[in-house]
């Protein structure tokens, strides 16, 4: 349970999408669902240094423990900004029971096509 949800983000998961020209399996991002998150800037200098990203580019989200999320997923905010998960999804099962995920804002080429059902 998270206590201060402030955003609903679309979750795209990396999965088998189709067969390629030569019959090979192709992978890509596919819309999975929407998740309610507590979205924040990461201000801890240790995490910024460990992940090697710029301070204004690193975020963290807190997600309810029941939500399924993979390390390879991409989250998209309501303004269609895409965020890659870096590091591991951290699960905390003491007292509040939540998952913490560090995100980096994807700039330039987009990882997934923004098509949802």
Q: Quick one: three-class SS letters along 40-92? A: EECCCHHHHHHHCCCHHHEEEEEEECCCCCCCCCEEECCCCCEEEEEEEEEEE
Rounded CA-CA distance 93/91 in Å is 6
Percent of the chain's residues with pLDDT above 90: 50
Write down the pLDDT at residue 110: 67
pLDDT at 111 over 70: no
Domain ranges within the chain, ordered by starting residue:
7-105
pTM: 0.83
Q: Is 96 or 102 the better-scoring residue by pLDDT?
A: 102
Could you report the per-residue pLDDT of 59-83, keeping only the tens digit for each? Answer: 999 999 999 999 999 999 999 899 9
Contact, 115 vs 80, CB < 8 A?
no
Give me the CATH code for the 7-105 domain, please. Answer: 2.40.10.270
Q: What is the pLDDT of residue 1?
A: 54
Stretch 98-116: mean pLDDT: 77
For residue 88, give both structure tokens.
Answer: 């591991």
Mean pLDDT of 3-18: 89
């Amino acid at each position: 349970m998270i206590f201060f949800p402030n955003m609903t983000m679309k979750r795209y998961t990396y999965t088998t999408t189709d067969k390629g020209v030569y019959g090979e399996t192709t992978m890509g991002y596919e819309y999975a669902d929407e998740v309610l998150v507590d979205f924040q800037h990461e201000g801890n200098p240790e995490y910024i240094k460990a992940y090697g990203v710029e301070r204004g580019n690193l975020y963290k989200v807190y997600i309810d423990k029941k939500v399924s999320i993979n390390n390879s997923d991409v989250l998209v905010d309501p303004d269609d900004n895409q965020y890659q998960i870096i590091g591991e999804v951290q699960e905390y099962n003491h007292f509040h029971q939540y998952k913490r995920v560090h995100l980096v804002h994807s700039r330039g080429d987009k990882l997934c096509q923004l098509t949802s059902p």
